[in-house]
Chains A and B, each alone.
Chain A
Amino acid sequence: MKPFKYSRATSVSTAARQVSANSQAKFLAGGTNIIDLMKEFVERPDELVDVTRLNLSNISTLAAGGISIGATAKNAATANHPLIRQHYPLLSQAILAGASAQIRNMATNGGNLNQRTRCAYFYDIAMPCNKRQPDSGCSALEGVNRMHAIVGWSNQCVAVHPSDMCVALAALDAVVKVQGPDGTARTIPITDYHRLPEDTPHLDNNLRSGELITSIEIPANNFAAHSYYLKVRDRSSYAFALVSVAAAMELNGGTIKQARIAMGGIAHKPWRLTAAESFLAGKTATADNFKLASEQALQEAKPLAHNAFKIELGRRSIVRALQMALGNII
Chain B
Amino acid sequence: MSRITVYTARKVRTMNPSFPEAEAVAVRDGRIVEVGTLDSMKPWLGAHEHVIDDRFKDHVLMPGFIDPHIHPAVGGVLLPSYWITAMEWQLPDRISPAIKTHEGYLERLGEIERSMDDPDEVLLTWGFHKIWHGDVFREQLNEISQTRPVFVLQRSFHEAVTNDAGLDWLEAERSELERHHQIDLETGRFFETGLAVLFQSVNKITLNPERFARGLEMHKRMVHLGGHTTVGDMAYPMMNHDFEWEMLSERIDRDDVPFRMKIVPRGALRGDWNGSPTENLARVNEMETLGTHRLRFGNAVKLFADGGFNAELMQLLPPGYIDGHHGEWLVAPEYFRALAEQYWKDGKQIHVHCTGDMGLELALTVLEDLLAVQPRFNHRFTIEHCGVSTPEQAGRIRDLGAIVSAAVYYVHELGEAYWHHSIGYERAFQMSRMGTLERLGITTAFHSDFVVSPPQPLHTAWVAVNRFAESGAVLGERERTSLDFAMRAITIDAAYVLNMENEIGSIRAGKLADFTVLEADPWETPLEDLKDIPIWGTVFEGRPFPVEK
A and B, one complex? no
B binding-site residues for A, Cβ under 8 Å: none
